[in-house]
Chains A and B, each alone.
Chain A
């Protein structure tokens, strides 16, 4: 008995789209709370634990506050670009989540419900492309605020993101050597069939991808575009109220996006660990989505942990690290994997 066409063609896609928008926002709220708590706990502080149980409503309180804050636009700012850039940054991050597969597809009453909105054969390219559109938002935002610190923040982020996209791209190539396809779902399925995660096959690619991912999202130790102690608040110094909230949410969404990519490319998306160990077969009963979520939470925790520990790079060393270390390393790795793949 196939489900009613109205349900299949209209209701489910709408629900899925709503889910795609809600999923990153929920993750962002969890991230805001986790970041403030984890950094606090690392620093020997209790952290927000007053609003709601253990401070879980703190992000909601922040959002509520930002919603009512006055929205100031600097006098000589370029109004159009100033308003456009937060939208650009947020939309590009949220849009990329359409292609992230959250779990296996399963059948309900004859209809296969897929846990992703769109499965496109070029999913990986789309996600990478969309995530680099966010850069425009940062550049326009910094430029349009017409004040010195945001301008410097914007200039810094241009060079930083461009130089770190190259190693990112190259390490992704090594994964494609093995998965032979750039469809995210296929990559995960391939890891299921090969019964080994690419992360263990390509450790160097994973490390370089992760470091470039941190730089891509302007997170410590590469958070130069928004270095509090130097550029006051970097590119979003002049923003306030909901526009600032957009930047804030977009940054966390971008982090969740990069963590999802790492998990999908290197740690087998929703696959339970130790597939070939018979004794641990009961792990398969836990749904794929929870595995995916657990892996992401680990990487998000890693983000915050690194931010609380490491000092900030200086601008020239940041670029030197990319061009002198990461790019040659990923190039070498590319060649090595290619040769290895050919020989095997």
Chain B
């Protein structure tokens, strides 16, 4: 490119105008962000939201209190106790505490659970008012959707 062409390009601000054209195109192109509470982005099935326990077909807890998840967890989030129950051979979970504030959502517990009792849910709303709501105790581990929100931040939804 000859010196003159480069000078003319420089004098008539060609590079700056090209930049301005690009931003103008973006000004009129569709936007990336969405109006959050009104529209929520659809989450993929494997999304790592809050950990939830699950019941089997008969409504009994899938969890057999084998403590595999408690042992594998790098940040020691679990405190589980099971007891022998007449109606089935495996243990029945009596205490299943999960410390949300320690959890790094790494997924090792979900992977190692023999009966896949504990799984990630697409629930990403984790705002809560009282500090002790961070510790999930046994029955709360089954809450889903709106009841879970009611449990977490107590009725501000009305």
Listed in ascending order, the chain A residues whose CB lies under 8 Å from chain B are 38, 41-46, 49, 305-306, 308-310
Chain A residues within 8 Å of B29, by CB: 44
Tell me if B7 counts as interface (CB < 8 A to partner A). Answer: no
Task: Report whether A45 and B27 are in contact in the complex, using a CB–CB cutoff of 8 Å.
Answer: no
Whether a CB of chain A sits under 8 angstroms from the CB of B57 is no
Q: Does B115 contact A (CB under 8 A)?
A: no
- Residues of B whose CB lies within 8 Å of any CB of A are 16, 19-20, 22-24, 26-27, 29, 31-35
Which of A44, A45, A309 lies in contact with B20, CB distance below 8 A? A309
Instruction: Report the separation of the CA atoms of residues A45 and B34 in the bound assembly, to the nearest whole angstrom.
Output: 8
| Interchain nearest-CB distance for A210 vs B (Å) | 11
CB-CB under 8 A from B27, the residues of chain A are: 38, 41-42, 305
Most A C-beta atoms less than 10 A away, residue of B27, B31, B32:
B27
A44:B31 contact, CB within 8 angstroms: yes
CB distance from A36 to the nearest CB of B (A): 14
- Ordered by A's residue number, 16 sampled pairs between the chains whose C-beta atoms are within 8 Å are A41-B27, A42-B27, A43-B26, A44-B29, A44-B32, A44-B33, A45-B31, A45-B32, A46-B31, A46-B33, A46-B34, A308-B23, A309-B16, A309-B19, A309-B22, A310-B19
Given contacts A44-B33, A308-B23, A310-B19, 11 further A-B contacts (CB under 8 A): A38-B27, A42-B27, A45-B31, A45-B33, A46-B34, A305-B24, A306-B20, A309-B16, A309-B22, A309-B23, A310-B16
Count CB-based A-B contacts (< 8 Å): 33
Residues of B within 8 A of A38 (CB): 27
> Which of chain A's residues have a CB closer than 8 A to the CB of B35?
46, 49
Do A41 and B24 form a contact, CB below 8 Å, given A310-B16, A310-B19?
A: no
Q: Please report the C-alpha to C-alpha distance between residue A309 and residue B23 in the assembled complex, in whole angstroms.
A: 6
Q: How far is the CA of A38 from the CA of B24 in the complex (A)?
A: 10
Shortest Cβ distance from residue B11 to the other chain A in the assembled complex, whole angstroms: 10
Complex interface: chain A residues within 8 A of B19 (CB) = 309-310
Q: How far is the CA of A43 from the CA of B29 in the complex (A)?
A: 10
Q: Is the CB of B26 within 8 A of A44?
A: yes
**In the docked arrangement, what's the CA distance between A45 and B33, Å?**
5
Q: Residues of A contacting B33 with CB < 8 Å?
A: 44-46
Rounded to whole Å, the gap between the CB of B97 and the closest CB of chain A is 39
Set of chain B residues within 8 Å of A45, measured between Cβ atoms: 31-33
B16 partner residues in chain A, CB cutoff 8 A: 309-310
The residue of chain A having its C-beta at the shortest distance from the C-beta of B25 within the complex is A42
Q: How far is the CA of A45 from the CA of B27 in the complex (A)?
A: 9
Cβ of A308: which chain B residues have Cβ within 8 Å of it? 23
Enumerate chain A residues within 8 angstroms of B24, measured Cβ to Cβ: 305
CB-defined contacts of B32 to chain A, threshold 8 Å: 44-45
Q: List B contacts of A46 (CB < 8 A).
A: 31, 33-35
CB distance from B20 to the nearest CB of A (A): 5
**Chain A min CB distance to B49 (Å):** 25
A168 and B111 CA atoms in complex are apart in Å by 69
CA distance A46 to B27 in the complex (A): 11
B31 touches A42 (CB 8 A): no
In Å, the complex CA distance between A42 and B19 comes to 12
Q: Hey, which chain B residues are within 8 Å of A42, CB to CB?
A: 23, 26-27
Q: How far is the CB of B36 from chain A (nearest CB, A)?
A: 10
CA of A49 to CA of B20 in the docked complex: distance in angstroms? 25
Q: A45 CA to B36 CA in the complex, in Å?
A: 12
Is there contact, CB below 8 Å, between B20 and A305?
A: yes
Please give the distance in Å from A37's CB to the nearest CB on chain B.
10
Residues of chain B within 8 A (CB-CB) of A306 are 20
